[in-house]
Amino acid sequence: MARPASAPAPDQWRRVSTFARDWYVQEWLLLFFAVGMLLFIYLVAKHESELERSEIVRDAALIEQSIARRLDADQLFLDRLALDLGEDRFSPQEFDRITSSRAIESGYITEILRIKPNLDVVRHAPAINSLEIVRRNRAPFGDQIRMSSITEKTSKSTYSQPFRSDSGRFFIEYAAPIFSQTRFDGTINAVISFELLMQRAAPDWAHTKYRLILRDSDGSGMTDAEQVQIEENSYQHTIPLSLPWRDLSLTLIGAKPPTLLPNLTLSSAVIALTALMVWTLISLRKQQRMRQLAEIERDRVYMRSISSLKETNDRFETVLDSLDVSVYVSELANNQILFANARLRETFPGVSVGQDARAFEDGFVAAPTARYPTAQLLRGEAMPGEVFIDELEHRASHRFFLMRTRAVRWVDGRMARLTTLGDVTDRVQAERIRQAQQEKLTRTSRLMSIGEIASTLAHEINQPLAAIANYVNGSIRRLRGSGTADAAVIGAMEKAEAQVARAGAIISRVRDFVRTREPERRRIDINELVTETARLLESDEESRALAIPLELDRSLPHVFADKIMIEQVLLNLLRNAREAMQHLPSAKRIAIVRTEQRGDGMVAVRVFDRGSGISPDAATQLFSPFFTTKSEGMGMGLNICRSLIEYHEGRLTFEDNTGGGTIFQFTLPIDEGQE
């Protein structure tokens, strides 16, 4: 049976089926290839997106560090400027020159102001705007009051809240306190533009790669960058700024948004994807190379930053090592020393980084002028926000140091304590010398006053004594002329005449003493002088009873002394003995006077009493001027007695009596033939 002409031959069906099968396989292969290429492109695009996101995160951290470093440098400059103004180190013209140069150099500080405590602006630089414009562009008045109050109370710098000026731009104001000695004298303020801060403080490459937007806590933008049209699907990354003020964030937006290939037809997609594969490989190599170059550049920038930080750290250590004060930093948690400058290691050998600060600090005790307990000062109790200043004494060297200590945050974030020790030993010793000189001046002034009083009394008393002597002489002559007078009465009158003469001689010696005239030293019998003096003071009266047994060495040689002066010394010692035994019954008030010869060419006179003795506290000041244990005493008796004995080249001393009471002893030189 013949087949129809239109029917295909078996070979044709075989070729068609083979073609269809091949076409079907090719279609699936093409589909798989297209899907694979699309999947490949998708994975590549996703990988690129992740790389760009990780890159923007790293760049955001670098930009934040750059801004923070610039602000730290400006804060350090303003704090140093405030310190120099407090010490009047430069003139107003020099202030204008320095601040104008700094503001222009920074590019984002629009004004540097000198503010008085009453918030008046006395100077501003650079002097481009008028004073009225400068005042309008400052922080709100309430914020100005807050900054001035904080800086005055804490002695630390502070920032205002971000504010918007009349021009619509955002600013922030920094205030550094000025102290003239200890008096608050206003602040140094700097007005910082957020817009210019983003332009000048961020690295140059950041502006070419990103748009930088500064936002507040409400998400509102504070720079003009937010007004630029942001393309959809652009890469963005936001980080909170770790700056002195809070609630601000920095947003980085990629300059170009990511793009994907548009949808194409299957045929063009295969061709395009094939070409794209080659182009992608080439582009990947180029991008990889560019990325490597960018990473190398970023690493170079990072290494430069590390090098800059190292140089800054080296400069920091060099400055601290060159100080004349000892500086160390210790951790608050475990008191481990984190840093010690060269001065500390030289002054206190053995102190090193890593050791426990308590072992070093236990060598100090609070000075007499200390205001804080030593434990609170050294351990840093309740210290955050406070500065402790006090004087301490080093036990080993007995030197005085002015310690200043405060809480700080160390470079790794740990809370630490910064302590400086300035040697003030010379000042303390000078103060002690000044006080001693002042006390000597006071004693000298009182002695001069006493000398004037003694001179006046000697002059005034001498006249009535002369009259008494005349009356006594006249009475004696009349009694002797009458022939009926009692011999005992005449003897009493003669004794009265002798005592008047003796009183006149004493007054004459007092006047000579206060006039610094040379006393009359001559050869005298010390036993005879002791006997006469004991007779004058010995009494049976109940209130003034005193028995004076004499233990005299009759073989004593004569001494070379002023009789009146030595008599006054012995009288004063016997009166003191009687007053020391006033609490005893009258029969037990016995003061023994003993004379003896010493082997060093001196004669000793010793007075023994049975009183209550001398306390250890009083013993250290017994011969000091104006020191007395008597309610009505002047504190000059023993001091004058010691001066009189030392004038005679002898010594006046005391010691405890074994039977109770005190023994006073003075020595006098033996006469060696002087007339």
* For the ranges 288-292, 410-414, 446-450, the one whose mean pLDDT is highest: 410-414
Say if CB 231 and CB 257 are below 8 A apart. Answer: yes
CB 33 within 8 A of CB 273: yes
Residue 353 pLDDT: 86
Q: Which residue has the higher pLDDT, 214 or 19?
A: 214
Please give the average per-residue pLDDT across 458-484, as a whole number.
78
Query: What pLDDT does residue 12 have?
Result: 45
Q: In whole angstroms, what is the distance from residue 286 CA to residue 290 CA? A: 6
Q: Which architecture does CATH list for 425-517?
A: Orthogonal Bundle (1.10)
Two structure tokens written together for 134? 């400068």
Half-sphere exposure for 435 (CA within 13 Å, toward CB): 6
Angstrom distance (rounded) from CA 156 to CA 244: 13
Q: Give yes or no on whether 57-258 and 326-423 have one common fold.
A: yes
Q: How confident is the model at residue 2 (pLDDT cuts 50, 70, 90)?
A: very low
> SS3 of 328, please?
strand
Distance CA 566, CA 666 (A): 10
Nearest partner of 593 among 577, 611, 572, 608, judged by Cα: 608
The Cα 369–Cα 17 span in angstroms is 113
Q: DSSP letter for 324, please.
A: S
> How much is the average pLDDT of 507-516?
62
- Average pLDDT of the residues in 130-134: 82
pLDDT at 6: 43
List the structure tokens of 520: 């009359």
Residue 419: exposure state from Cβ atoms within 10 A (0-12, 13-18, ≥19)? buried
Beta strand ranges found along 182-325 (DSSP E): 183-193, 210-215, 236-240, 249-254
Mean pLDDT (whole number) for 542-564: 86
More confident residue, 3 or 504: 504
Distance CA 11, CA 19 (A): 12
pLDDT of 23 strictly over 60: no
Q: pLDDT band at 247, cuts 50/70/90?
A: confident
Please provide the CATH number assigned to the domain covering 57-258: 3.30.450.20
- Dist CA 348 CA 466 (whole Å): 74
- Quick one: pLDDT band at residue 525, thresholds 50, 70, 90? very high
* Secondary structure of 80-140 in HEC code, one letter for each residue: HHHHHHHCCCCCHHHHHHHHHHHHHHHCCEEEEEEECCCCCEEEEECCCCCHHHHHHCCCC
Q: Indicate if the pLDDT at residue 100 is higher than 50.
A: yes
Across the chain, what does the average pLDDT equal? 77
Q: Fill in the amino acid letter for 155.
A: S
User: How far is the C-alpha of 38 from the C-alpha of 487, rounded, in Å?
Assistant: 156
Residues 289 and 295: their CA atoms lie apart, in Å, by 10
> Does position 337 have pLDDT exceeding 80, yes or no?
yes
Class of domain 326-423: alpha beta
What's the pLDDT band for 608 if we cut at 50, 70, 90?
A: very high
Which DSSP symbol is given to 158? E
Distance of CA 89 to the CA centre of its chain: 22
- Asked whether the beta carbons of 591 and 607 are under 8 A apart, the reply is yes
Mention every residue, 6+ apart, whose C-beta is less than 8 A from residue 584.
610, 611
Please give the C-alpha separations between residue 636 and each of 29, 437, 459, 623, in angstroms, as whole numbers: 127, 20, 21, 8
Place domain 521-669 in its CATH homologous superfamily: Histidine kinase-like ATPase, C-terminal domain (3.30.565.10)
**Helix-then-strand count for the chain, H and E:** 16, 22
Q: Where are the beta strands (DSSP E) in 385-486?
A: 387-394, 400-409, 415-423
pLDDT of residue 4: 42
What pLDDT, in 10s, does the model give residues 185-233?
899 999 998 888 888 888 888 888 888 888 877 777 777 655 555 555 6
* Across 495-507, average pLDDT: 77
What pLDDT does residue 187 have? 93
- Given a cut of 70, is residue 380 above it in pLDDT? no
Instruction: Tokens for 331, please give them.
Output: 């951790």
Q: Tell me which of 22-26, 128-132, 459-463 is least confident.
A: 22-26
Q: Mean of the pLDDT values across residues 610-631?
A: 71
pLDDT at 386: 53
Which residue from 568, 641, 656 is spatially nearest to 611, judged by alpha carbons? Answer: 656
Separation between Cα atoms, residue 546 and residue 534, nearest integer Å: 10
Give the pLDDT band of residue 595 (cuts 50, 70, 90). Answer: very high
Name the least confident of 40-44, 397-401, 573-577. 40-44
Tell me the average pLDDT across 631-647.
Answer: 72
Mean pLDDT of 551-568: 89
User: Which residue do the tokens 């548009």 mark?
Assistant: 262
Amino acid at 37: M
- pLDDT digit string (tens) for 468-478? 878 788 888 87
What pLDDT shows up at residue 445? 62
pLDDT at 300: 80
Separation CA 339–CA 355 (nearest Å): 10
Residue range 246-255: average pLDDT?
Answer: 77
Mean pLDDT of 134-159: 88
Higher pLDDT, 421 or 618: 421
Query: pLDDT digit string (tens) for 152-187?
Result: 899 899 988 888 887 788 888 999 999 988 889 899
**What whole-number distance in Å separates Cα of residue 245 and Cα of residue 592?**
87
What's the whole-number mean pLDDT along residues 594-604? 90
Q: What local confidence, expressed as pLDDT, does residue 19 receive?
A: 46
Count CA atoms within 13 Å of residue 457 on its CB side. Answer: 12
More confident residue, 9 or 364: 364
| Model confidence band, residue 263 (pLDDT cutoffs 50, 70, 90) | very low
Antiparallel, parallel or unpaired: β 550-551 and 592-597: parallel
Q: Is the pLDDT higher at 100 or at 361?
A: 100
pLDDT at 382: 42
Domain limits of the chain?
Answer: 57-258, 326-423, 425-517, 521-669
What lies within 8 Å, CB to CB, of 308 at 6+ separation is none
Peptide bond into 10 cis (omega under 30): no
The secondary structure element, H or E, covering residue 572 is: helix 563-580
Q: Report residue 15: phi and psi, to 5°.
A: -65, -40
Per-residue pLDDT at 14: 52
Sheet with 249-254, strands from edge to edge, namely 210-215, 249-254, 236-240
Percent of the chain with pLDDT over 90: 8
